[in-house]
Amino acid sequence: MNPYYHEASRITSYLLSMNAQQKEQEVYASAMEKLSISFSAYEQALWKSMMSSTFKMACIDAGLALTDSTNNVRRKLFTMLAILEASPNYTACFLSKEYSKWYFLKLIFVGMRSICRAMIGLLIIKIIKQRCS
């Protein structure tokens, strides 16, 4: 099995909490082959950690968003995000919906969760960076 298919599934699980369909896995694999994104030893260590769990992926992504938003690790994530956004199979995930007037409470929770993830991510990034130095 193509290792990019596993990456596509992991990233989709992180971004949308669902499985990637075969078509999107194929498009991602093709994109990765064409882009040939290369990693430094530090980025490779980040990526390996991110592939181990979606929780780590969320934390490291949040940390990188604050400290190194142009990192090649995030480039892979955004490539898959673009594929999912453009796919008819996931249209409903990206279209506006009607929400109740209490939805702002969920937004507050999500905001607090994001801050926690970013703090954990910054710590993970620091540890990985020290190991790679």
Note the pLDDT tens digit of each residue in 49-81. 999 999 999 999 999 999 999 999 999 999 999
- Give me the percent of the chain exceeding a pLDDT of 90: 91
Distance in angstroms (rounded) separating the CA atoms of residues 71 and 21: 26
Convert the pLDDT of each residue in 109-129 to its tens digit. 999 999 999 999 999 999 999
Residue 90 has pLDDT above 80, yes or no: yes
CA distance 133 to 27: 35
Q: Tell me the per-residue pLDDT of 4-38, one tens digit each, with 9 for 90 and over.
A: 999 999 999 999 999 999 999 999 999 999 999 99
pTM as predicted? 0.91
Side-chain half-sphere of 3: how many Cα atoms within 13 Å? 5
Please, what's the b/e burial string for 42-60 (b: 16 or more CB within 10 A of its CB; e: otherwise)? Answer: bbebbbebbeeebebbbbb
The answer on pLDDT for 99 being more than 90 is no
